[in-house]
Structure 1
Amino acid sequence: MKNKKIKINAQDKVLFSNTIFLYILTFSSQFFSFLTVPYLTRVLGPSVYGKVGIAVAYMAYVQIILDFGFILSATQKVVENREDKDKLGKIITAVTCVKLTLSIILTIVFGCFVFMSESMKQDAVFYLLYMVSTIANALMPDFFYRGIEKMKIITVRTFIIKGAATLGTFIFVKKAIDYWMIPLFVMLGNSIAVFVMFHDMAQNYQVKFQCTNFRFIKNLVKDSALFFVSRAASTAYQAVNTIILSFIYGSSPLVGYYTSADKLISLGKTASGPIADSLYPYMIKQKNYKLVKKILLIFMPIIIIGVTVVFVLAEPICIWLFGAEYAEAGNVLRCLLPILLVILPTYILCFPVMVPLGLSKWANMSNVVGMVIQILGLVVLIVLGKLNIYTLCLLSSTTEVMVFLFRLIVVIFRERFTEVEKVKGY
């Protein structure tokens, strides 16, 4: 018998290639950020490193507002108009105009908040540098490259630029008082990456800024509104912990313990994100649900084994990564680990699976459900006087598991939920 060769069609090759390069692009921020963590936790100490965590937590909200759901809605628009360069130019222009307008408003609001806060105004430069670096990151038109499924060249360039910026952290941040340089180098890396992306679009894809009208921008914002609400709700229950802990514990090392443990969880989320992000435009066109099952069957056993190992060795891992002062972060990490068990299927079930199935409203609603669960849980913990770093982490894990179960139920019983959408006129 002749050996049968496994045939991989062109679309699957494109999906595989873009998944790999989307991983690199996504990890260019998370990887380099995480690479500096063992160094910064030792140089800065838990208290000062806690300030970094607080800044990152606030910037998570800024990032989600600046994105305004465009990473999903604009990607879909690019997929639908990938051969129309003029239309693509208008999409790029509209998205950029909205983001710049939001950037000005948010900078004014956040600046006022910082200078009115007794605990933050002494670090105003530090927080505002984080603001500018976040704006630069939000202006990257990565939705364009996701939509046309061409990630290679821009990913490599961005990776190199951000790598060079990260190197600056190791060279210049030598003492705790140098902490303000951390967002400075992130800002420089992001700013150069934005310039490179727009230059690449104009030179290699002939997509440039186009004159557009208010109606076009308004329609684009309207189409993106539901995606924004969904992602804002998701951020509301995912990024609020550090802010809550900063009010409870102030500059206590406990905030630093949470920040360091959450870095590991964020890295796990980042590892799952590119799979879902590259699947999204692919599934809109191909609707290959068998591939989704294969991906989950391959990766879930690896995730389960990995989470089990981290649970057992949590303290040694935190000490090895962050330093001897961070042993207590091990227990914090254990409380957050259920998130990593469900994060890949949660991401994949959401937009890559639910949108092609005609369940986009339920995909967006799932994050609202998560926000409601988190808020109700916080109220219960406060009323019972049980709110602390460990119960807060356990609540976050419970919320993520419930969101996963909600999405799974919607997909399994999709015919019933599709009927509901039709009845309500969705």
Structure 2
Amino acid sequence: MGGKKLDKTLLSNTFFLYLLTFSSRLFSLATVPYLTRILGAVTYGKTGIALAYMSYVAIIMDLGFILSGTQKVVNHKNDILYISKLICSVALIKFLLGILVSAIFTAYILCNPNMRYDFWFYFFYLAAFIVNAFLPDFYYRGIEKMKVITYRTLAVKTIFTVLIFILVKDDRDYWLIPLITLLGNALALIIMYYDLKKNYGIRFCRASLSEVWQITKDTLPFFASRIASTVYQALNTIILSFVYGNSPIIGYYTSVDKIVSLSKTVSSPLADSLYPYMLREKDFKTVKRLLIKTMPVIIIGTLIIFIYAKLLCIFLFGREYASAGNILRCLLPIIVVILPTYLLCFPVMVPLGLSKYANMSNIVGMGIQIIGLVILIFTDNINVYSICIMSSVTEVCVFLFRLAAVLVYRQRIRHKRYFRYTENSIS
């Protein structure tokens, strides 16, 4: 009975994560065609630059708690006092990080001539992402109650989408996008902490400095992995902003990246729902069956996108974005490997005791991406196509690294079992 109950919980969480992800993506797809036409490629490109920087802010503010915090909640699920101290300790750490990040990023905006003119635009984005970082999503992931997060996000996204269509009327209104995001995240934060207190008995309480320090130390390896992943994934937009300035190419790349992100949107909920389940059950056959069933569909779908890339970009973003088709083609290998890359990482490698290699894989990816970009710069081959191809190479290498780690571990286990069997037979 216990196994069936866990299976139902896994299916429920997966369903709500997919509902959350696809509804969010649906809202995004509803606004992207509107914003690309209203703002134009140049102004819309600014949102891409802002979001690239904010991806760093989000990872720094999270500090790996979405993974380490989830693991701690799974291990102390019924200890309300421990969970309360954990949530309060994480909030304190993030408060201090928020002050540091705000000071550094504000100084950076003021020193950057391309961003100084749009100070409030970038500052509102910064505030929105800092506020969002205080949401204790790791708790709901750990107790496998994704329904709460899903309903909260759906409500906020609905309000955000409606306000975009009502308030953003031309390219002068672009600063309203981060402001609306900030207000939505603040509302979500209030709702979340009210739910924690009312339904789960979580209250603010003091944690000792030693407890806070221990929580920080435990999350740092996960943080190193996530920041490395973000470096090589978000670096492209920042480099392109220096190479092309305010060229429409930034808008083309930002728009195409939305399509590539869709593959991550499909893969992430599955990996996220499997992570706490796999920590307890170690049901690796389920992962294997998932990959066998889904990979043929992914490969065929990618081939179709390759053939009709130009038409897809025109349909989604407008005729101005026809040139984005070739950019999309350069990024398609990422779509092929993203699901197995996600599933092999924390849902498989952490339960196997390979968390060190799971974290290391992103650091390896960052190294490959940076070395590749340096080579492109010094050989004067830096352009939007070479950067996208380099990103595809990086993602494939990260996948191969994780696959190799799992296969080597599996081979070692087989050898240990063989020798143990041999010794028992002899004795």
Question: Is residue 372 of structure 2 the alignment partner of residue 377 of structure 1?
Answer: yes
Cα distance, 1:97 vs. partner?
0.9
Aligned partner (choices 62, 85, 88) of residue 90 of structure 1 = 85
TM-score (norm 2): 0.94
After superposition, what is the alpha-carbon deviation per residue over 1:358-394, rounded to whole angstroms, capped at 9, x for unaligned?
1110000000110110011111111211110000000
Cα distance, 1:84 vs. partner?
0.6
Question: Is residue 115 of structure 2 the alignment partner of residue 120 of structure 1?
Answer: yes
Aligned position for 1:147 = 142
Aligned partner (choices 275, 280, 288) of residue 285 of structure 1 = 280
Aligned partner (choices 198, 203, 212) of residue 207 of structure 2 = 212
Whether contact under 8 Å (1:345, 1:404) holds in the other structure is yes
Aligned position for 1:55 = 50
Distance (whole Å) between structure 2 residues aligned to residue 8 and residue 286 of structure 1: 9
Q: Which amino acid aligns with 1:372?
A: G
Q: Which amino acid aligns with 1:56?
A: L
Distance (whole Å) between structure 2 residues aligned to residue 305 and residue 230 of structure 1: 31
Cα distance, 1:26 vs. partner?
3.9
Aligned position for 2:417 = none
Aligned position for 2:250 = 255
Cα distance, 1:253 vs. partner?
0.3
Distance (whole Å) between structure 2 residues aligned to residue 230 and residue 244 of structure 1: 21
Question: Is residue 351 of structure 2 the alignment partner of residue 356 of structure 1?
Answer: yes
Distance (whole Å) between structure 2 residues aligned to residue 119 and residue 176 of structure 1: 17
User: Which structure 1 residue ranges, 4+ long, deviate > 2 Å from structure 2?
Assistant: 23-35, 415-418
Whether contact under 8 Å (1:374, 1:396) holds in the other structure is yes
Corresponding residue SS for 1:119: helix
Whether contact under 8 Å (1:166, 1:185) holds in the other structure is no
Distance (whole Å) between structure 2 residues aligned to residue 417 and residue 72 of structure 1: 27
Distance (whole Å) between structure 2 residues aligned to residue 208 and residue 28 of structure 1: 31
Corresponding residue SS for 1:309: helix
Corresponding residue SS for 2:201: coil
Q: Which amino acid aligns with 1:347?
A: Y
Decide whether aligned partners of structure 1 residues 133 and 26 sit closer, same or farther in structure 2, where only a CA change above 3 A counts. Answer: farther
Aligned position for 2:174 = 179
After superposition, what is the alpha-carbon deviation per residue over 1:94-135, rounded to whole angstroms, capped at 9, x for unaligned?
111111111111111111111111111110000001001111
Aligned partner (choices 328, 335, 353) of residue 340 of structure 1 = 335
Bigger Cα displacement from structure 2, 208-217 vs 81-90? 208-217
Decide whether aligned partners of structure 1 residues 135 and 27 sit closer, same or farther in structure 2, where only a CA change above 3 A counts. Answer: farther
Cα distance, 1:29 vs. partner?
4.5
CA RMSD of aligned residues (A): 1.6
Aligned length: 413
Decide whether aligned partners of structure 1 residues 330 and 8 sit closer, same or farther in structure 2, where only a CA change above 3 A counts. Answer: farther
Aligned position for 2:423 = none
After superposition, what is the alpha-carbon deviation per residue over 1:336-379, rounded to whole angstroms, capped at 9, x for unaligned?
11001000000000010000111110000000110110011111
After superposition, what is the alpha-carbon deviation per residue over 1:303-359, rounded to whole angstroms, capped at 9, x for unaligned?
112211111111111111111100011110110110010000000000100001111
Question: Is residue 319 of structure 2 the alignment partner of residue 324 of structure 1?
Answer: yes
Aligned partner (choices 160, 165, 176) of residue 165 of structure 1 = 160
Whether contact under 8 Å (1:89, 1:208) holds in the other structure is yes
Cα distance, 1:268 vs. partner?
1.4
After superposition, what is the alpha-carbon deviation per residue over 1:260-296, rounded to whole angstroms, capped at 9, x for unaligned?
0011111211111110011110000000001001111
Distance (whole Å) between structure 2 residues aligned to residue 8 and residue 365 of structure 1: 32
Q: Which amino acid aligns with 2:234?
A: A
Decide whether aligned partners of structure 1 residues 144 and 28 sit closer, same or farther in structure 2, where only a CA change above 3 A counts. Answer: farther
Cα distance, 1:156 vs. partner?
1.4
Aligned partner (choices 186, 189, 205) of residue 184 of structure 2 = 189
Whether contact under 8 Å (1:74, 1:143) holds in the other structure is yes
Aligned position for 1:202 = 197
Q: Which amino acid aligns with 1:255?
A: I
Distance (whole Å) between structure 1 residues aligned to residue 381 and residue 412 of structure 2: 37
Bigger Cα displacement from structure 2, 94-103 vs 280-289? 94-103
Distance (whole Å) between structure 2 residues aligned to residue 416 and residue 305 of structure 1: 31
Q: Which amino acid aligns with 1:42?
A: R
Q: Which amino acid aligns with 1:328?
A: S
Distance (whole Å) between structure 2 residues aligned to residue 14 and residue 104 of structure 1: 38
Q: Which runs of 5+ in 2 are unaligned?
A: 414-427
Corresponding residue SS for 2:394: helix
Whether contact under 8 Å (1:166, 1:186) holds in the other structure is no
TM-score (norm 1): 0.94
Aligned partner (choices 391, 411, 414) of residue 406 of structure 2 = 411
Aligned partner (choices 300, 303, 308) of residue 305 of structure 1 = 300
Corresponding residue SS for 1:413: helix
Question: Is residue 221 of structure 2 the alignment partner of residue 226 of structure 1?
Answer: yes
Cα distance, 1:83 vs. partner?
0.2
Distance (whole Å) between structure 1 residues aligned to residue 192 and residue 255 of structure 2: 31
Aligned position for 1:240 = 235
Decide whether aligned partners of structure 1 residues 222 and 30 sit closer, same or farther in structure 2, where only a CA change above 3 A counts. Answer: farther
Distance (whole Å) between structure 2 residues aligned to residue 30 and residue 103 of structure 1: 27
Corresponding residue SS for 1:385: coil
Identity of aligned residues (%): 55
Aligned position for 2:420 = none
After superposition, what is the alpha-carbon deviation per residue over 1:51-107, rounded to whole angstroms, capped at 9, x for unaligned?
000000000000000000000000000001110111110110011111111111111
Cα distance, 1:146 vs. partner?
0.3
Aligned position for 2:424 = none
Corresponding residue SS for 1:47: helix
